[in-house]
Amino acid sequence: MAVLSLTVGVTRAEQADEKTDAGGQWKYVTEDSSATITGLADEDFEGFITIPDELDGYPVTCISAYAFADSWIIGVTIPEGVTHIGDHAFCACWDLGSALIPDSVTSIGEDAFAACRNLVFIVTSYGGTISCGDVQLIPLDTEELELRYNRPIPAGRTSRFKET
């Protein structure tokens, strides 16, 4: 299965200049006046996360490969301005149930959500394929979604995904 993917951001091996933000919550690297999230400072964190739109004055534009792989997050909200989610970024997040992805995301790496066994929905208007290991997700149109879930699409969103 082909997946829209760009080599953007950094991988774990390339994180020699990794920093922790002033609030002590996020690990990141900077490149070309922007920040790439590389993970959480507290690797044992459990719960929902909201990726910041800025870290120490740098706009967040990428989530690196493996940034949250095998972590205990249960939901993630990604801010407008992030353009890339790296390969395996949320891989094996067993308890991840939802992901809100903004319109600004133009590429999602291979197996970004693979082995997320509790993933119920991804809300996005991203038009490419999102790979979850052996599961390919496809967009539902607004009417089908509202009939299926008997609730309106969240404001500002145009699609939700389901397993095929």
Alpha carbon 135 to chain centroid, angstroms:
17
Architecture of domain 18-136: Alpha-Beta Horseshoe (3.80)
In tens, the pLDDT along 17-34 reads 899 999 999 999 999 899
Q: Are 90 and 97 in contact (CB under 8 A)?
A: no
- 11 has a pLDDT exceeding 80: no
Report domain extents, the chain: 18-136
Question: Cα separations (Å) of 80 from 69, 117, 129, 132, 162?
Answer: 22, 26, 19, 22, 23
The stretch 29-54 carries a mean pLDDT of: 94
In tens, the pLDDT along 119-162 reads 776 766 666 555 454 444 545 444 444 444 444 444 444 444 43
DSSP output for 74-126: EEEE--TT--EE-TTTTTT-TT--EEE--TT--EE-TTTTTT-TT--EEE---
Q: What is the pLDDT of residue 126?
A: 60
- 116 has a pLDDT exceeding 80: yes
Q: What is the pLDDT of residue 162?
A: 39
Q: Are 118 and 97 in contact (CB under 8 A)?
A: yes
The tokens for 19 are 């920093």
Q: What is the pLDDT of residue 125?
A: 63
Q: Are 119 and 94 in contact (CB under 8 A)?
A: no
DSSP output for 21-75: -TTSSEEEEEETTEEEEEEESSTT-EEEEE--SEETTEEEEEE-TTSSTT-EEEE
The closest alpha carbon to 73, from 52, 94, 104, belongs to 94
In tens, the pLDDT along 71-109 reads 999 999 999 999 999 999 999 998 988 888 888 888 888
Task: Name the β-bridge partners of 28.
Answer: 19, 37
Q: What is the pLDDT of residue 129?
A: 55
Q: What is the pLDDT of residue 64?
A: 97
Higher-pLDDT residue of 131 and 163 is 131
- 49 has a pLDDT exceeding 50: yes
| Predicted TM-score (pTM) of this structure | 0.72
